[in-house]
Amino acid sequence: MPRGDLFPDIAPYETGLLPLSGGHVMYWEQVGNPRGQPVLFLHGGPGAGAGAVHRRFFDPGHWRVVIFDQRGAGRSRPLGELRENTTPHLVADIEALRRFLGIERWLLFGGSWGSTLALAYAQAHPERVLGCVLRGVFLGRDSEVEWFLTGLRRVFPDAWANFAEHLPPEERHDLLAGYLKRLCHPDPQLHLPAARAWSQYEGSCSTLLPSPETVASFAQDRTALGLARIEAHYFEHKLFLPPEGLLGHMDRIAHIPAEIVQGRYDMVCPAETAFELAAAWPRARLTIIPDAGHSALEPGVRTALVSAVERFRRRS
């Protein structure tokens, strides 16, 4: 897939491991200009982890880019660990990383679950947030989780059938419970096939047109295990969000500027949610990409994300 609208590949100028509570250790890295304007990249999932391509949304001559893998995800340790792994823990981890790196305020950049976590952090620490660039908005509500687990079969019946048929017929009435039982089993011969089935389902539904490259990246064991196990764990616990949800606290961030980029045909996180968020956020600008699905690497989405970040650069 040509990606000429992203910035060139770049290596981190600094990496590290930050000890957290509960035996967790966070992988983090910094990319770009050490004296530049800080921006924090928040990956999706929960549990997906960050990759090298995520560095490329930011002009390395201007931005001091901070990227980290959330608890249990990617290069953080232990992989797939669920103990002390909640949204409040992740919000506290972000604040611990900010203090550790000596950053006063930063721009937040997150898609899918990354948009959820960006909102949760911004509402907890609005004084630390310069602005938000969000993509494929997910607010963690019951209706959005149910859409992922069952509603997607209306559009992707073949992908959903593969997902559901990983479980025996007697367990298909509660897909989440059936998958959790397998994903949390200590035997890799049980948890890895379940993780691959869950992750391949998500990857298959993430692009406007079929993308074997996307599905293959989701199916890698390390990605699949962190994504599927942690995602199912968060779904079981209503994403560890307050009963009133994220829309219930938009007054805390009403003054913060935001750019929201949404694929019109995003089936994982349908556009309705992005419209609801934009309607509740006076300083949000919503950009709908007419020919895109969920993935940040859809051509129109990645171009719009780079443009959104550049608009924040001009504000500085």
**What are the pLDDT digits (tens) for 223-245?**
999 999 999 999 999 999 999 99
- Element of type H or E holding 235: helix 221-236
Q: In this predicted model, what pLDDT tens digit does every residue of 149-205 receive, in sequence order?
A: 999 999 999 999 999 999 999 999 999 999 999 999 999 999 999 999 999 999 999
Q: Which of 76, 74, 55, 68 is nearest to 117 (CA)?
A: 68
- Do 88 and 198 lie in one domain? The reply is no
Last residue of some domain: 218, 238, 258?
238
- Element of type H or E holding 147: helix 142-149
Tell me the pTM: 0.97
Is residue 267 pLDDT above 80, yes or no?
Answer: yes
Q: In this predicted model, what pLDDT tens digit does every residue of 127-157 receive, in sequence order?
A: 999 999 999 999 999 999 999 999 999 999 9
Cite the active site residues.
Answer: 112, 266, 294
**Residue 2 domain-assigned?**
no
- Do 46 and 70 lie in one domain? The reply is yes
**Residue 5 domain-assigned?**
no
- Do 198 and 83 lie in one domain? The reply is no
- Element of type H or E holding 23: none
Last residue of some domain: 223, 238, 253?
238
Proportion of the chain in helix, strand, coil states, percent, rounded to 5: 45, 15, 35
**Which range marks the domain in which residue 300 is found?**
14-140+240-315
Q: Which of 108, 43, 89 is nearest to 69 (CA)?
A: 43
Q: In this predicted model, what pLDDT tens digit does every residue of 269-303 receive, in sequence order?
A: 999 999 999 999 999 999 999 999 999 999 999 99
Last residue of some domain: 175, 208, 238?
238
